[in-house]
Amino acid sequence: MRNLIDNAVKYGGSAEVAVRAAPRGIAIEIADRGPGIAEAELGSVQEPFVRLETSRNRETGGSGLGLALARGAALAHGGTLELENRPGGGLLARILLPAA
């Protein structure tokens, strides 16, 4: 959660966090109004060391592990991490966790 909230604040200026009932469990959603992620990169950005900011400057981007760690934590609890661009701009990160 921390990586997703930190990313939302860093790239979108703020984070909107919600917990909702999902068909087979719960959904934890972290949303922002930043630039979002190019559709072609939504899957690959969850891989370790993949960074959208390519300068390799630590001041303008991290190590490329935040989303991979968030996905790994979701998987360890039997869930998934989904990323989607929001209508009107921004990104929605959704962790789906099973009920029980």
* pLDDT, tens digit (0-9, with 9 covering 90-100), for 21-32: 999 999 999 999
**Domain region containing 19:** 2-98
Distance CA 39, CA 80 (A): 18
* Overall average pLDDT of the 6-34 stretch: 95
Distance CA 16, CA 31 (A): 5
* pLDDT, tens digit (0-9, with 9 covering 90-100), for 37-94: 999 998 888 887 877 654 444 555 667 788 999 999 999 999 999 999 999 999 999 9
pLDDT of res. 54:
46
CATH classification at residue 78: 3.30.565.10
Instruction: Please state the domain count of the chain.
Output: 1
Neighbours of 71 (CB within 10 A): 22
Q: Please list the residues that pair with 28 across neighbouring strands.
A: 19, 95
Distance CA 14, CA 95 (A): 18
Distance CA 25, CA 48 (A): 27
pTM, rounded to two decimals = 0.85
3-state class of 6 per DSSP?
A: helix
pLDDT of res. 36:
92
